[in-house]
Amino acid sequence: MQLSRVLFLLALALAPVALVGTTWLYLYPLFDTACSFPSPPNATAPAPFRLLALGDPQLEGDSSLPKAGAKIFRSFNGLEDDLRDAETALRKAELVWAAVRGIPKDLRKALQGYVSKPVDIWGNDFYLAHIVRTLRWWAEPSHVAVLGDLLGSQWVNDREFEKRARRYWGTVFRGMEKVSEKIMTGYETAEKVSQKDGMSEEQEDGGENEVVQETREKKWGGTVEILGEDECWKNRVINIAGNHDIGYAGDIDTSRIARFERAFGNVNWDIVFKLPNTTLDHSSNEGQHHDIPALRLVILNTMNLDTPAFDGDLQRETYEFINHVITTARSVTDKTHATILLTHIPLHKEAGVCVDSPLFRFFDHGGVKEQNMLSEHASKIVLESIFGLSSNQWAEGNGFGRRGIIVNGHDHAGCDVLHYTTQPGVENACPENIDEEDIHLPPILPDIEPKLAGEETLESITSNDTLTDAEPQHDTPPDSQPDSQLDPEPQTEDPKWQVLPFPHRPYRATPDGKCLPLTSLPRIREVTLRSMMGEFSGLPSLFPTPNPYHSTLPPHSLKYPAHPSAASPIRSPASPRSNRSDPIARWMSLKSSVEA
């Protein structure tokens, strides 16, 4: 049989496989319901805000390739000097043979560095572009955001940074553009922006650009738009700065911030989208007065929230932006709005909750060199300032804060959690009978707290007085209560913020055997995106926002539980638990036996 006929038959046999594979590659959203936004209940139109969120593309470049002029056969390095110093012919033969044996290894590294890696970088750009293009076509998001680490290293020079930025706009997000200065700051800049690739025209030659050191004009926010009026949003990319873009607190400087903002947009800004009147159900709200429902996007640089910081002015600027968010936000009692916080570094969590555990490393001069997540102090600032959550039951809005969600990246494996805190003095009640699958039981053995690098100085390092201090809030009853109840009591430490994987069970047992219904606690959801790199399957995230009048904004939408009624018997967590079918009672019994 002729070779041509063999090849023809082989191609004929493989054609169906190639056809099926190509069809799936370009139409895979058809076969996966997770690739589309869920429809709001009882709605005939899609949600007005549909966010396509992508995490950590990390475009690599020349820093991943062999340096110019690097030798291919490294096993021969220094061979000439070694032969000259060798005293015997046998020793010289051993040296030559050792160098020759290293040739296959050198060739493999050379092929990887000069052939495999460049092809990998080239192909990765088109792989990421295919994900973006396919999901924009199929899911039709109203907004697109990249949650940091757009590029692979903050240490690259300006020329390499600009080359990667052009690949970012010219290949991965081809046809899209960064958010304009007018939207981010409320004013136009003199710098022209190329609509072709989102970069300034002065940068298109790829040359080294001198960074002009100017006083940073701290303007942010103030922009208010009607959601859906500006259709150009579907062609814009909301870029969040990551540690591989500008560095951590210990090495962020104005030049890195400047080049990132020229290419991708500001590191701190916010915008308010008001819901259009056409989406409101006027019939169900007739006779009622409501503020126009609004959705606030807050883009926050969390890389310099913790201290010590290399540039104190840049860190102060971030805290001033947080103060701006606080002072311009609606009241925590106003449930017609929600806040979506887009940032990079996740909030603090105990070891074991996510793939990454708490980790801090510092430069010799003391600055933050690396961190897996924010410190407890910085996390508390985010939760209690931007969202107004509080462990104090007498705080405004009973401490339940603003509705919203936190979306970030950094942990490439991804994580989905619920942050919550208890409120001393509030008696929470659980149903009489709880199924074991409905309650989180603490571990029998005491947890061993993870050690952080530099733990002995962490408390002092993470303290920061830049944020506007609120008046101290203690668990004191209102002035209307009798004076006998106002006797001073010993100060107790505020409850710490705790974390549970999401989705969570409705109840939580405390180590002392009390039962807490999570729906009656201040809480908020945090979603850490899985990286869109090929190693992590290129997974995106889709966030729809429903109409606040039809259904509450996820995830912080539940209120205080209703008062006890005869139809649903409940008890105080302090009540004795004699029911042996009670999962908490069984857990307490097992714990006692283990401790004994």
Rounded to whole angstroms, the Cα distance separating 258 from 241 reads 12
User: Could you tell me the sign of the dihedral formed by the alpha carbons of 445, 451, 456, 457, in that order?
Assistant: negative
Q: What is the pLDDT of residue 449?
A: 44
Residue 387, classified by CB atoms within 10 Å of its CB into exposed (0-12), middle (13-18) or buried (19+), is: buried
pLDDT score, position 490:
52
Q: Which residue has the higher pLDDT, 509 or 561?
A: 509
Cα–Cα nearest to 267, from 224, 315, 332: 315
Sign of the CA dihedral running 220, 136, 174, 409: positive
Helix or strand (DSSP H, E) at 544: strand 541-545
Report the alpha-carbon distance of residue 193 to residue 236 in Å, rounded.
13
What would the pLDDT profile of 281-323 be if each residue is shown by its tens digit? 554 444 444 578 999 999 999 999 998 999 999 999 999 999 9
CA gap 575, 584 in Å, rounded: 12
State yes or no: pLDDT of 554 exceeds 80.
no
> Would you state the pLDDT for residue 186?
76
User: Could you read off the pLDDT of 225-240 as tens digits, one per residue?
Assistant: 999 899 999 999 999 9
pLDDT of residue 236: 97
- Give the model confidence (pLDDT) of 107-158 as tens digits: 888 887 788 888 989 999 999 999 999 999 999 999 999 999 999 999 999 9
What's the average model confidence in pLDDT over 554-558? 34
How high is the pLDDT of residue 185? 87
Q: How far apart are CA 190 and CA 507, in angstroms?
A: 56
Between 595 and 561, name the one with better pLDDT: 595
Reading the block at residue 199, the tokens are: 């970069």
DSSP characters over 144-209? EEE-S--BS-SSS-HHHHHHHHHHIIIIITTT-EEPPHHHHHSS--SS-B-TTTSSBGGGTT----
Q: Are 381 and 345 in contact (CB under 8 A)?
A: no
State the Cα–Cα distance between residues 144 and 349, nearest whole angstrom. Answer: 27
Please, are residues 475 and 421 in contact by the beta-carbon 8 Å criterion? no
Asked whether the beta carbons of 45 and 547 are under 8 A apart, the reply is: no
3-state secondary structure of 529: coil
Read off the pLDDT band of 524 (50, 70, 90).
Answer: very high
Q: State the Cα–Cα distance between residues 561 and 8, nearest whole angstrom.
A: 71
Q: Is the pLDDT of residue 206 over 60?
A: no
Backbone angles phi, psi at 207, to 5 degrees: -80, 170
**For range 361-386, the mean pLDDT:** 94
**DSSP-assigned states of every residue in 259-284:** HHHHHH--SSEEEEEEPPGGGS-TTT
User: In whole numbers, what is the pLDDT of the chain averaged over residues?
Assistant: 78
User: Which range has the worst mean pLDDT, 60-64, 121-125, 207-211?
Assistant: 207-211
pLDDT on residue 213: 46
Contact 176, 237 (CB under 8 A): yes
Distance CA(499)–CA(525), nearest Å, equals 9
Could you tell me what percent of the chain has a pLDDT over 90?
A: 45
- Write the Ramachandran bin of 419: left for phi over 0, alpha for psi from -120 to 50, otherwise beta: beta
Helix (H, G, I), strand (E, B) or coil at 343: coil
Q: What pLDDT was estimated at residue 547?
A: 45
Angle at 108 between CA 105 and CA 112, to 5 degrees: 140
Q: Establish whether the linkage from the previous residue to 546 is cis, with ω within 30° of 0.
A: no
Average the pLDDT over 546-550 and give the result.
43
- Location of structure tokens 């304009």: 180
- Give bridge partners of residue 420 from the DSSP assignment: 498, 523
Helix (H) or strand (E) holding 226: strand 223-226
Nearest to 377 by CA among 310, 302, 436, 280: 302
CA-wise closest residue to 263 among 159, 185, 341, 344 = 159
Convert the pLDDT of each residue in 342-370 to its tens digit.
999 999 999 989 999 999 999 998 899 99
Using DSSP's 3-state secondary structure scheme, residue 400 falls into strand
Mean pLDDT, residues 380-400:
93
Tokens standing for 432?
């009489």
H/E run at residue 287: none
